[in-house]
Amino acid sequence: MKNDLSIYVLISFFLEDVGKVDLNCEKNNTAHKTNDISVNRLIVRRGQSFLVTFELHGPSRPTTDLLELMVETGPQPSEALGTRSVFRLPEGCGKGSSWKVKVHQGSVLLEGSITLDITSPADAPVGEYSLSVKTSATASVGSSLGKLLLLFNPWCKEDWVHLPEEEERQEYVMREQGLVYKGSDKYISSMAWNFGQFEDDIVDICLKLLDVNPKCLCDPANDFSARCNPIYVSRVVSAMINANDDRGVLMGRWDGRYDGGMSPTHWNGSVEVLRRWLKNGSNPVKYGQCWVFAAVMCTVLRCLGIPCRVVSNFQSAHDTDKNLIIDDFFSDYGVRPKQSPDSVWNYHVWVEAWMRRPDLSAGSLYDGWQVVDPTPQEKSTDVYCCGPAPVKAILQGHVDLKYDVPFVFAEVNADRVTWMVLANGSKKKISTDSVSVGQNISTKAVGSDKRVDITANYKHAEGTEKERDVYNLAVKRVNIPEENSNVIHDGKPGVSMKIVELTKPVSGKDIDLKLILNSNDSETRTLVINVNVQAMRYTGIPSSQIQTELKELKLLPNQDLTIPIHIPFSVYGEKMRESNSIKVSAVVTDKDKSEAVYITEKDLVPESPSLTIKAIGSELQYSEMTAEVVFENPLSEGLRNCFITVTGSGLLTETMEARMPLLKQGQRLRVTMPFTPYRPGPKKLVAGFNCDQFRDIKASCNVYIKPVTGVVPPLHR
């Protein structure tokens, strides 16, 4: 301690006024892995030290005054709330301060400057801080050293968002591009998404989003204090991504009418959405649906330093009455009328955020991935948000824990009851299905573009005793009345049916299928067969009728009856522009046994025509490259009002566009666009194609940009 005190006396000898300040932005930001955001402003992570250097001026007289520093965040900084901290040299002289400072070993005091090593606590509130220094006990006001941004730190073991594996930190914090899985459980497709969390204005937009949230507007002091907690922050972000009850980022729309805005399928990345929100004066961007909400939230959490990944759940239940049961209704002519607020979406997309949950368990029982869902489906404590819900709690059926575990449990594991609505308005229970909800839960693999099935993280294998035990435990924990939670398993039906594809469904081509019926009875059956084809939104809601067919046929014992189903593109094409899939359903009534009704259905997701994009050039930072996009018209008619977009974080500073009024039958369109990559590392180019006949066809390619040194970066950095 004697040596330390001699250093501080020497500091005091020189110190009266602070001269030039160097926040060592490039060095600090590189050490804190924030240099991809900027090297011109100080952005650091909590629980990790950073260096500040400043010149010392003053009379040559020794003094015993000690150096006092102060950090403050928020409009009403308070030491009690953790938004203000005063800390001093020598280390430990502060009164209970959790921020620490010491003289950096490399300081050369006799040359008139000092470098301080400053460390924030691992549970400090995230956000923008002012940093100041007082150089004498008599000074009433400190000298400003500048501003700093403090982020969560998944590299710090003491931080609640600590993620142990470096490969996962690179994927879930640092990766600027990813994949979002869409389609249906039998037709899973991926679309590339530019998260762009390191674009230089995104961190400020993320902090603005926190500042305009209703909790902050109502009680800013406590809101800024609570930003130490990733549970709180993720819940606030979940509410602020949608605009249902605040000044959120995105307005949702699912009815196919997008006047005054963009179709949700238009977006290729988060950056354009967040920038529009800021430009609009924090008014919502029109429009989003679940994958847009989730992908934008992933950008915000990764930017703030919370590990995050996008997850898609196929055959995803929306349980409005919280009974863990989804009611489906069919009419006796095959159409799915809207009788229930419950629904099963072809897919639903949310995010998982990595954090500890000491609020739920003294140990680490519920730590790890948490479901956080910004899509406005149901209210949680009077706000449209969802989560964080521990994935481990969902797996175990612990639905009495916060936040919103029953809702997410139902999304992946609700039972499904099918009802027939008869002509007189009465309902007849047809079947109970305890298997189909929650299929192929998917996320992008670490370090590659492979799809990883994580269904086993959410539930035990369907058909096992353990899965039923967990379901029944969940039913008990949400206190569902006994009569509402019975699971009925029907006997083997007298008629079995299935719909089989004859050709792969491709948008622009006719679709052919067949309905196969078989009877296990010894008698001939006279059957009334309704085959109905509807265009469906991905939320499980019919958008329009495509075609219907009614037949009366005899089914012989132990023989197959095959009925062809032909769906021309000329009939379904126009009706699919704002729809995700085609639902083909067959409702069969036995005329000889009026009580016998059989139902089968198949979801089809027509594959989009081929669009390709590739990058041409040296793949070197600051070197000009070219994006080449190619599309060929597959129709026997011209495509009108063709429109191509290309985006890519770290590659293009803004979206590039090209238009063509008419692409003739069989004509091939080739577009080249120059660009100059400005950030090194793995990147993606993402292309989109639109015209009057086809909407939002996507393609992407990977580009690995090699860094260069000694080159002056563009001005936008």
CA distance 389 to 404: 6
Give the pairing of strands 49-57 and 611-616. Answer: unpaired
Answer for the pair 29, 149: CB distance below 8 angstroms, yes or no. Answer: no
Torsion angle in degrees (nearest 10) through CA of 285, 289, 290, 292: -50
Backbone phi and psi for residue 571, each to the nearest 5 degrees, phi listed first? -95, -45
Give the pairing of strands 389-390 and 308-318. Answer: unpaired
290 labelled catalytic: yes
Answer for the pair 402, 458: CB distance below 8 angstroms, yes or no. Answer: no
CA distance 383 to 101: 41
**How many Cα neighbours within 13 Å face the side chain of 502?**
14
**Distant-in-sequence, close-in-space partners of 183: CB < 8 Å, separation ≥ 6:** 189, 314, 346, 347, 580, 581, 605
Instruction: Report the sign of the C-alpha dihedral through residues 351, 357, 360, 364, in that order.
Output: positive
Mapped onto helix, strand or coil, the DSSP state of residue 122 is: coil
Packing angle, helices 230-241 and 202-211, rounded to 10? 90
Tell me the residue length of the chain.
Answer: 717
398 labelled catalytic: no
Q: For residue 415, say whether it is annotated as part of any ligand binding site.
A: yes
Answer for the pair 284, 292: CB distance below 8 angstroms, yes or no. Answer: no
CA distance 629 to 5: 67
**Distant-in-sequence, close-in-space partners of 226: CB < 8 Å, separation ≥ 6:** 125, 215, 232, 233
- Give the full edge-to-edge strand order of the sheet including 511-519: 495-501, 511-519, 560-567
β-sheet bridge partners, residue 302: none
Give the pairing of strands 511-519 and 560-567. Answer: antiparallel
Start-to-end Cα distance in the chain: 44
Q: Which of 25, 216, 228, 290 is catalytic?
A: 290
Q: Which of 185, 373, 590, 603 is catalytic?
A: 373
Q: For residue 467, say whether it is annotated as part of any ligand binding site.
A: yes
Torsion angle in degrees (nearest 10) through CA of 169, 172, 177, 178: 130
Nearest Cα residue to 30 out of 40, 15, 22, 20: 40
Backbone phi and psi for residue 336, each to the nearest 5 degrees, phi listed first? -95, 95
HEC per residue, 349-412: EEEEEEECCCCCCCCCCCCEEEEECCCCCCCECCECCCCCEEHHHHHHCCCCCCCCHHHHHHHH
DSSP assignment string, 476-488: HHTT--GGGS---
Mapped onto helix, strand or coil, the DSSP state of residue 549 is: strand
The angle formed by the CA atoms of residues 621, 623 and 626, to the nearest 5 degrees, is 110
Q: For residue 413, say whether it is annotated as part of any ligand binding site.
A: yes
Answer for the pair 475, 493: CB distance below 8 angstroms, yes or no. Answer: no
Q: For residue 654, say whether it is annotated as part of any ligand binding site.
A: no
Nearest Cα residue to 97 out of 108, 88, 109: 88
489 labelled catalytic: no
Mark the binding-site residues for Ca(2+), compressed into ranges: 413, 415, 462, 467
Residues designated catalytic: 290, 348, 373
